Structure formats: C-alpha cells, structure tokens
Amino acid sequence: MGQGDIDAVRELLEVATEADGHAPLGEHQWLDLVEGGRAGFAGLVAWEPGHDHPVGYAQVTRGDTSWALEFVVDPHHRDAGCTIEKDLVGAALDVVRQEGGGRITLWVPKPDEHRDRVATRAGLLRTRDLCQMRRPLPVGRPFALDTRPFEPGHDEGAWLAVNNRAFAAHPEQGGWDLDTLKRREAEPWFDPAGFLLHEREGRLAGFCWTKVHDDHEPALGEVYVVAVDPDFQGGGLGRSLVLAGLDSLARRGIVTGMLYVDSSNTGAVHLYEDLGFTVDHVDRAYVGEVAPGS
C-alpha cells in the first residue's frame, strides 16, 4: 500500500462511513492501513474503468494463528447484481491461499441477507454476533469507586498484565503487547483522563477505558475496554467500573454511551441491559478454512 493508495482508500472509507453510519474497518485494521501495513498485511483496492476513485477495498491480516478479513464497497456501486464484494472476498482468500492457507475470519458490520450469501458462497460460516449497545447519558445510578487516570509511561506494564489475564481467551483483546498499547496511545482520540484505573491492595484491580467518537453527530462515548483482574472478580467491581466510565463520559458532555459485547456473553449482556443499554446493531463474524495453494 503506497501513500496514493492509502489516501484513495481513506476517502472511500469516509464516504462509506457517512452513508452507513459506522466505520467499515475495525480499529486494528484501520491502524494497519494508515501506517502503511506491516508483515502479514495485504490491501486489495478495486477500480473500475471511468472512475477516478476506488470502488471497493479489502484488507487481510495474518495473526498469530489465523487471518482477519474486512472489506467495503463504495455506496454508489452496490447495485443488484454487482460482483465487487464477491471479487474482493475471492481475491483476499487467494492471498491467504498463496501464503499457505489457514483459518480466516471475515467481519461484517450490520450484515444483511446479501452479505450472508457472499460469505456462504465463499465457504465461510456464520459464527459470532457482536452487539453494539447504547444508552442515554447520564445514567443517574449511584456508585462508590475510587479511580485515577492512566499515566502514560508509567502504567503500561501493570495494565497489560491485567488486560491479558482478564482476556486470556479473547480472540481480539487478549495477548496485547507494549507496541499494541503504544499505537493506541498515539491515536488522536486517546485521552488519559478517560482511561480509569482502580487499585486495591497496592495493585491494579480493574480498569475502564473510554473513547469519544467525535466523528459521530452527536459524539458517542464508548466504554472501549473494561476488565477486572481475575483475582478481584465476583464482587460487582465490573459493574462499578462501567458506571464510573459512563459517569466520566457524561461529565465531558457526552449524551449517548456505547459499547460492544459478544452476544454469547450472556452475563455481560444481562449486566448492560440492567444498566439500560439496548442493542443498536449487530456486527457478524464468518469463519472458514482456506487450503494452501499456488
């Protein structure tokens, strides 16, 4: 991905975001794109004659044990019978095939029957639904919890230890390293004041990291990551941390809170429903095995 390709795709993503009301790429994929890619990264840009802009984009990234795939088509090129989506997914699977094959996960925001068919015809099976839930702010429920803001250059080690213990089995949030965290700290949206840490017995017991989406009108306040160290789970700390994060967002003038939760995590879903969250939309994962080829 040269700078010209990156700039063209960035414009495509902005058009799609405006039309769809959500970002076409997840945060990990977005950072790979704007930083020019890395080992195990491939961006595929679709062009059509007579158009001076890309009509579609697919991005495939190799992880430790599997591949991730996301794609977007220009809103003006989504006519019935259009094959851009099928061609992009097929080209991405060819990349994986040429690189030795493996397990691949395709994420689709706000899926519909057409997207289900594209994934099915590519040999991918629906596996996970990720719910985006929202509620008005402020919450208006009391909580008693001492927190302090994250201190860059000081708290990374303790935070990584708790995050990776709490999300040991999570496919996206587990296994972060210092570089992964530093890349988030370098993002324009990063605000230590909204990155709340709670300590007990002289150690980090849990945290609630919030994120403000200024590109949304009105701005959305996200509970970006919330977790409790396994040693301190079971006492209601997670609930208090969520309330602390939502209170922090409300005090910054945010009127709508948002978070993501896997639909299969029934305990978390019930907690958020009890706090007044409702599902705004669903993002869906499709998984398949790609055989190696030439």
Residue 103: pLDDT band with limits 50, 70, 90: very high
Q: What is the pLDDT of residue 87?
A: 93
Residue-wise pLDDT for 190-240, tens only, equals 999 999 999 999 999 999 999 999 878 889 999 999 999 999 998 999 999
Let me know if 269 is exposed, middle or buried by CB neighbors in 10 A (0-12, 13-18, 19+): middle
Residue-wise pLDDT for 113-140, tens only, equals 888 888 999 999 999 999 999 999 999 9
Residue 116 parent element (H or E): helix 113-121
Cα distances (Å, whole numbers) of residue 177 to 31, 165, 166, 183, 248: 15, 12, 14, 10, 26
**Residue for token pair 């095995």:** 289
Residue 30 parent element (H or E): helix 27-34
